[in-house]
Amino acid sequence: MTRDDFQRLYELQGIDSGIDQREALLAAADDGGDVLGSLEAARVAVEALQEDLREKQSRQRKLELDLETILADRDRRSERCYGGTVSNPKELAALQQKIAELARNADRHEDMILELLEEMEAVEAAVAEQQESIEQLARKHTSIADSYERTTSRARGEIAELRERREMVVGATDEALVREYEAIRERFGGIGVAVLRDGTCSACNVAVPRVLYPMIERGTSAVRCESCRRILVIPEGEG
């Protein structure tokens, strides 16, 4: 380890803080994720409505077919009943009763079909409403995503540059020192390096014992603040 390693470590801290700052900005910016969630929920909802509609349509078709069968049966029996071929009064009475029963059944089917048609109309209206809201949400999402792209493009560009610079700095710095720095940074809120300035640690403002100054200046090993445990450095041109 040399003095230069600590100068680079100081730069690395600046780079990392810069990346953290911009990443926080990106995290706080609305990328349209919430609207996208609503959009997906609306799509799922409209699919469920459409499925319900299909199910009602098939029930309607089935009822229409049943009604046709009932009416055909009724017509067939009416023909027999009033065609003059049946003369037995008992048989005639039974036929009339059956015809009346079929007529009631046909009425019931017509009522069910009408009820179903009303339900289908309501579902169709709900589908239309849901589709309208999907279009609105989709437009909103596009606009938010565009605005996110515009407002964050600078930060994203800067992050890319900082990362590039970071790679160079890390590549040139003592590996063990970088590892130590990263471990501290992870534990202590992103700050692994502090500056010895006016006799105090810049991270925690606690006085650094004078006896440590020469060691920090020499830069042959990491000297850590006794209070906050950050690696102490004296930047070029300071101290």
Please report, as residue ranges, which positions from 166 to 205 form the binding site for Zn ion (by CB under 5 A).
201, 203-204
Nearer to Zn ion, 169 or 203 (CB): 203
Min. distance of Cβ 216 from Zn ion in angstroms? 12
Within its chain, how far is the Cα of 6 from the centroid?
42
> By CB under 5 A, is residue 126 in contact with Zn ion?
no
Min. distance of Cβ 151 from Zn ion in angstroms? 36
Nearer to Zn ion, 13 or 130 (CB): 13
Min. distance of Cβ 236 from Zn ion in angstroms? 20
Output the CA torsion 207→208→209→211 (10° steps).
-150
Of the residues 19, 123, 225, 231, which one makes contact with Zn ion according to CB under 5 A: 225
Min. distance of Cβ 222 from Zn ion in angstroms? 13
Within its chain, how far is the Cα of 132 from the centroid?
21
3-state secondary structure of 203: coil
- Strand extents, DSSP E, 120-226: 193-197, 200-201
Choices 48-56, 78-86, 97-105, 219-227; region in contact with Zn ion by CB under 5 A? 219-227
Looking only at Cα atoms, what is the longest distance across the chain? Answer: 130
Min. distance of Cβ 3 from Zn ion in angstroms? 20
Query: From CA 42, how far away is CA 50, in angstroms rounded?
Result: 12
Task: Give which of 53, 59, 1, 20 is closest to 177, Cα–Cα.
Answer: 1
Residues at the site binding Zn ion, with contacts judged by CB under 5 A = 201, 203-204, 225, 227-228
